Amino acid sequence: MRITYKGDYALKTILDLSLHYGNGPVFIHDLAERADIPEKFLEQILLDLKRGGFVESRRGKVGGYLLARPPAQIKLGEVVRFIEGPTEPIACTEKDYSGCKDKYKCVFRGIWQEISRATSQIIDNITFEDLRRKTEVPGSSFVYQI
Amino acid sequence: MRITYKGDYALKTILDLSLHYGNGPVFIHDLAERADIPEKFLEQILLDLKRGGFVESRRGKVGGYLLARPPAQIKLGEVVRFIEGPTEPIACTEKDYSGCKDKYKCVFRGIWQEISRATSQIIDNITFEDLRRKTEVPGSSFVYQI
DNA sequence: GTTATACTCTACTAATATAATAGAGATAAT
DNA sequence: ATTATCTCTATTATATTAGTAGAGTATAAC
C-alpha cells in the first residue's frame, strides 16, 4: 500500500470535515485553501468520496460538503482502502499478475499477507474521531489551523 | 512501500541464488527461465544487485552470478529497501513533498511511521536462509522447481 | 590467438498511473 | 434573473514502471 497525493488529500479533507461535523456544509474552496490542495483536483476527490458514502453534498449558494456519518464511525482504513486499494504491498494475489507459476506455493506470499495484516491492524483501529481529538490538543495541532 | 515487478524479480533471484549457494555461479539465462523473468530485464536487475553488494559475477564462458554473502546474512528487508526504497507508505517525510505546511504537526505522520515500523519488523526478521529452508520443505515448495 | 559464451553498459520505448487543468452544465438561495 | 456552489466529462503533463535493443568487454576452451 502506498499513500498518493490523492489519498493524502482525501484524508486531510475528511479530517477537516470531522472538525466541522455538526456545523453544516463546508465549501470546497475553504477545504482546498486550508489544506493547500488544488481546488479542481479536490472537486474530483470529493465526488469520489461521495460515491464511496463518506460525504454528502449540498448544491446551490449555501452548498458545500459534510460527513455522511459521525467521525467516530469512519475508520481511517476504510478511506485508505477506498482511495488506494488493498493494503497488500504487491498485486500478486490479483488475477492479472503473471509473475508466479503457482502463487499459492510462493514463499513470499505469506510475508506480503503478514504486512497487509499488520497495516490493517493499525489503520482499522483509528477513527476520525480519534484524529479529531488529537488535532484539538494544543501543541500537537493539525497541519493547518481551522 | 509497494513491491514492483522489479522487486519481485530481485527477491526471487536472490532466493534462487540462495538455493545454489556454494555451488558456483548460475547463468542469468537459467535464473530468468526458472522464475519466468524477461532475461534482458533481469540483466539490469542483477547489475543493480551487484552494485548493492548482494551478488557477485563471473564473466566469460563459465560465468554467472552468485551470492556475495551467505543466505543467512542477507535479510529480506535489505533487498526490499535497496530496490523499492523506504518502507513508509508515503513520501511525506522527504524534502520535495509539498502537501503539508508543517509535517511535524500532522496527525497522520505518526501513523505512517507506525506502519513503516511494523513492516520493518517483519521483513528485517527474515533471512534468505529462512526462505531457503521453507522452500525445501516438500509440499510448500517455491514457485518453481529447481 | 581465435572463438564462443556470458556478463556490461547505455540508450531507447511503450504502457500505465498520477496529478492535475479546463470548461460547460445543473442546482438552489436571494 | 443572478450568483455562488456543486457536477460531470474531457484533456494534458509528468513520472514511473517494465521492458527492449544493441554494441561492447572479459574469460575459458580450443
Q: Is the pLDDT of residue A141 over 70?
A: no
Alpha-carbon gap, residue A7 to A14, rounded angstroms: 11
8 Å CB contact between B66 and B55? yes
> Above pLDDT 90, what percent of chain B?
80
Can you give the pLDDT at residue A105?
A: 78
- Rounded Cα distance between A106 and A125, Å, is 30
| Residue-wise pLDDT tens digits, A47-91 | 999 999 999 999 999 999 999 999 999 999 999 999 999 999 998
Mean pLDDT, rounded, of chain A: 91
In the predicted model, what is the mean pLDDT of residues B61-65?
94
Is the pLDDT at A128 greater than 70, yes or no? yes
| pTM tops 0.85, yes or no | yes
Q: Please indicate whether, in this complex, the C-beta atoms of A106 and B15 are within 8 angstroms of each other.
A: no
Q: Is the pLDDT of residue A144 over 80?
A: no
Q: Is the Cβ–Cβ distance between B117 and B48 less than 8 Å?
A: no
Contact B100 A143 (CB under 8 A): yes
Nearest nt to A58, CA vs C1'? D6
Inform me whether the pLDDT recorded for B63 exceeds 90.
yes
| Chain A / chain B CB contacts < 8 angstroms | 107
A123/A91: higher pLDDT: A123
Nearest to A141 by CA among A34, A32, A1, A61: A34
The pLDDT of B99-128, averaged and rounded, is 91
Q: Name the CA radius of gyration of chain B, rounded.
A: 18
Among the partner-chain residues B2, B108, B143, the one whose CB lies closest to the CB of A105 is B143
Strand A55-58 relative to strand A64-67: parallel, antiparallel, unpaired?
antiparallel
User: Residues A136-145, buried b or exposed e (16+ Cβ, 10 A)?
Assistant: eeeeebbbbe
Tell me the C-alpha distance between A144 and A123, whole Å: 22
Chain A residues with CB inside 8 Å of B121's CB? 118
Instruction: Enumerate residues 5 to 64 of chain B having a beta carbon within 8 A of any beta carbon in chain A.
Output: 5, 7-9, 11-12, 15, 36
φ and ψ of A137, to 5 deg:
-70, 125
Give the Cα separation of A124 and B56 in Å (integer): 43
CB B5 within 8 A of CB A96: no
| A143 contacts B101 by C-beta, under 8 angstroms | yes
Grid cell locating B144: 518453481
